[in-house]
Chain A
Amino acid sequence: NAGVMQNPRHLVRRRGQEARLRCSPMKGHSHVYWYRQLPEEGLKFMVYLQKENIIDESGMPKERFSAEFPKEGPSILRIQQVVRGDSAAYFCASSSLLLTGEEVDNYGYTFGSGTRLTVV
């Protein structure tokens, strides 16, 4: 029963290159959330996706960042033309149902181990 799988674990990119981060949710989970964590900072929400739909991208920068969760395959967070400030740990979480505040998820909202992006 694999958990949330993220790859790669570490990614080094030169300024101006593209970074692609992948997240495979837990089996049976159809909701994916991406977070960014800067050094010494807390986790910041970026985007929430269901299969083939972006539900909320209010935390994602308007330029260079995009996310998708296709019908088949993992969710992808894509950063174009990376800059040094994009260096961070990017975490993905998944859940099995639409989690509003009223729903106490004893089963879902599980985090992956993250992808550490370093831009040189």
Chain B
Amino acid sequence: KNQVEQSPQSLIILEGKNCTLQCNYTVSPFSNLRWYKQDTGRGPVSLTIMTFSENTKSNGRYTATLDADTKQSSLHITASQLSDSASYICVVSAGGSYIPTFGRGTSLIVHP
């Protein structure tokens, strides 16, 4: 069964600090992995997307890494801002399937 597990479930950090969110998956055969940011009351917005051959991708202060061997991904946020407070969702697609598998998300709160 395809599964995506995210940790931690929630995280509180101070403004300006860095943080790393984790995603482990058992989706097979792997095709691509996306990280989304979901602000409260809004729809998810794509941050990064990586295929099997990519092991890192950046989008501003967000850097995603992918280890296809260990089936792990991380999202690193540098110099956090208050506006980074949101839920971060890891989504993995399997080859041949049009229904991706969603993680439950990590809730990040950035305090001033």
**Residues of chain A having any CB pair with chain B under 8 Å:** 4, 6, 41-45, 48, 55-56, 58-59, 91, 93, 98-102, 104-106, 109-114, 116
Contact B32 A113, beta carbon cutoff 8 Å: no
Contact B95 A43, beta carbon cutoff 8 Å: no
The residue from B45, B89, B98, B102 contacting A99, defined by CB atoms under 8 A apart: B98
Interface mask (B28-68 → A, CB under 8 Å = 1, otherwise 0) = 01011000100001111110010100000000000000000
Starting from the known contacts A43-B102, A99-B93, A101-B29, 15 additional A-B residue pairs (CB-CB under 8 Å) come to: A6-B43, A42-B89, A42-B102, A55-B98, A58-B99, A91-B44, A101-B32, A101-B94, A102-B96, A104-B49, A104-B51, A110-B46, A111-B43, A111-B45, A116-B41
Contacts of B31 in A (CB 8 A): 101-102
Chain A interface main SS type: loop
The residue from B46, B98, B99, B105 contacting A42, defined by CB atoms under 8 A apart: B105
Contact A100 B95, beta carbon cutoff 8 Å: yes
Contacts of A113 in B (CB 8 A): 41-43
Contacts of A48 in B (CB 8 A): 98-99
The residue from A98, A106, A116 contacting B98, defined by CB atoms under 8 A apart: A98
Q: B84 to chain A: closest CB distance in Å?
A: 19
Contacts of B46 in A (CB 8 A): 109-110
The residue from B44, B49, B93, B96 contacting A106, defined by CB atoms under 8 A apart: B49
Chain B interface main SS type: loop
- Bin the interface of chain B by size: 20 to 34
Contact B98 A100, beta carbon cutoff 8 Å: yes
Q: Would you list the 10 A-B pairs with minimal beta carbon distance, nearest first?
A: A101-B31, A111-B43, A42-B104, A101-B95, A101-B93, A43-B102, A113-B43, A101-B94, A42-B102, A111-B44
Contact A56 B96, beta carbon cutoff 8 Å: no
Q: B72 to chain A: closest CB distance in Å?
A: 18
Contact B32 A104, beta carbon cutoff 8 Å: yes
Contacts of B96 in A (CB 8 A): 100-102
Q: B48 to chain A: closest CB distance in Å?
A: 11
Contacts of B105 in A (CB 8 A): 42
- Of all chain B residues, which has the CB nearest A45? B99
